[in-house]
Amino acid sequence: MWLALGTFALHLFGAARFGFFRDELYFIACSQHLAWGYVDQPPFVALVSALAAPFHYSLLAVRLTPSIAAALTVYAVCFLARDLGAGRFGQLLAGVAVLFMPANLALGSMLATTSFEPLTWTCTILAAMRILSGGGARAWSMVALIVAAGFYAKYTIVLLAVALLIGILFTRERRVLRTPWLGLTSLFCLILVAPNLFWQVSHHLPFLDVIHGDAVKRHALQNGLQTEFRSTWHNAVAFFTEQVLYTGPLTTAMWLLGVWYFWQRRPEYRFIVVAYVFLLGVCVALGAKGYYIIGVYPVLVSGGAVLLDELLGRKAIARTLVFASVLVLGAFLTPLSMAVLPVQRFVQYSQMLHLTGYGKNAHLIQPLYADEFGWRGTAEHVARVYDALPAAQRAKTAIYADTYGYAGALNLYGPRYGLPTPLGGQNTFWLWGTHGYDGSSVIAVGATQYHLFVQLFKSVKQVDVYTNPNRWVLEGPLPIYLCTEPIAPLAIMWPRFRYYGP
């Protein structure tokens, strides 16, 4: 319990260091249009963001729930280690290893659809283990409830459910599937998620378009680094590399031991290993991103901790060295995953690790951190352009952002500068439409749809550009255009602006 509380405190400390991540700005906009679904995500993150509205969407309020989820994940891991027979050492080792997993550090200190996967996946596997241990109706009901809850956070929990089913089917524990509870649980789960499924179907399954857009848009960062590829082979190499990067070097050794532990020492739980191998195969075949299965590792780490607890026995020195290594290395690498340092101190830290240049070439190289800068500055620059327009033109001028990040930033910060509600062409912003603007005057933010601007407007002038040096790793200067003389009313042109994808 104390370790879970420490996890919660640590995540809150890192939560308010910089600013909002682009997805969080989008979630806040979605929270102002609550629905059973959105183009690219289920509704839970929007609901969590709505809970922060009474607190004026402060960083801490928005990120409170993922911090709680991170703490509960650590608690669940310690509970699992104890349930598997680990003593105090094994429980603490499992909890500390999961606490300092780079992916968990990052996900617990920001709101993302993936932020709840370590918890929901861990609890789903725990419930499946309970079924194999004779848990009966209660365990089956827990599976349905947890999978449904995880589904409303992120759809990928369906992949885990299928993997666990296949894992059980291909081991001797398949006998537990010879029960009407399997069908009843599936039906119960389907009923629980039906509102979101209906929303997706009624909007022509836009999430499938998002998946397609994700598959075809695999671009490098501004510094040239690329982690996602359209080539299956190159993407597979990146995927397996990221499994190590997202879990950390020593924790990787622990979850590998966990794979061996569940296969050799606990044959009744071999389904976990089969499920894990299935997940790897599906992700490689589909060209998935490296973090898509991050939720499976807390359970594997628990198995590794139990095995180490058994192997080290009463060897106090060995136990101390193992525990201290996980603790010290995890703490030392924490600034790479959680914003515990001010930005300039972090740049110095990354210089010490030879991850960035020196002097004038020193940059903020963590993409997640870089994406927390520049949003308010964008709104300020757009406001200057907007305020400089003649009053008559300003009254009919729409503000359009080419990505949901900039649209979300203008939605949150724009009212402070007297800006109207922005329009957007990406994902659910496009569904929210033109807000009645005729398109006779549009301030367009971003260049990714510049080709559309010049096709649909006779006059397209760049009127400003915004640059934030901390965003260097992600993108260059942000152009701002004034578009006038449209070839048709904006409502007619609007379908051309739609983009479903990342």
Cut 0.75: pTM above it: yes
Find tokens 């690219």 and name the residue.
Answer: 40
Q: For residue 365, which of 234, 246, 225 has the smallest C-alpha distance?
A: 225
The answer to whether residue 40 is domain-embedded is: no
**Same-domain check for residues 326 and 455:** no
**Same-domain check for residues 391 and 478:** yes
The answer to whether residue 477 is domain-embedded is: yes
**Same-domain check for residues 243 and 390:** no
The answer to whether residue 361 is domain-embedded is: no
**Same-domain check for residues 304 and 245:** yes
Q: CA 315 to CA 470: how far, in whole Å?
A: 48
The answer to whether residue 490 is domain-embedded is: yes
Q: Give the domain-ending residue among 312, 334, 356.
A: 334
The answer to whether residue 165 is domain-embedded is: yes
Question: In this structure, what token pair is assigned to residue 241?
Answer: 């590399």
**Same-domain check for residues 169 and 273:** yes
Domain of 180 in residue numbering reads as 2-16+64-195+226-334
**Same-domain check for residues 406 and 474:** yes
The answer to whether residue 454 is domain-embedded is: yes
**Same-domain check for residues 428 and 326:** no
The answer to whether residue 187 is domain-embedded is: yes
**Same-domain check for residues 275 and 399:** no
**Same-domain check for residues 330 and 379:** no
Number of domains in the chain: 2
Q: CA 418 to CA 120: how far, in whole Å?
A: 41
Q: Give the domain-ending residue among 334, 349, 384.
A: 334
**Same-domain check for residues 321 and 435:** no
The answer to whether residue 364 is domain-embedded is: no
Cα distances (Å, whole numbers) of residue 456 to 439, 488, 499: 10, 8, 16
pLDDT tens, N- to C-terminus, the chain (502 residues): 789 999 999 998 888 889 999 999 999 999 999 999 999 999 999 999 999 999 999 999 999 999 999 999 999 999 999 999 999 999 999 999 999 999 999 999 999 999 999 999 999 999 999 999 887 888 999 999 999 999 999 999 999 999 999 999 999 889 888 889 999 999 999 999 999 999 999 999 999 988 887 776 756 565 556 666 667 777 888 889 999 999 999 999 999 999 999 999 999 999 999 999 999 999 998 888 888 999 999 999 999 999 999 999 888 889 999 999 999 999 999 999 999 999 999 999 999 998 887 776 788 889 999 999 999 999 999 999 999 999 999 999 999 999 999 999 999 999 999 999 999 999 999 999 999 999 999 999 998 999 999 999 999 999 999 999 999 888 889 999 999 999 999 999 999 999 998 8
Phi, psi of 217 (to 5 degrees): -110, 90
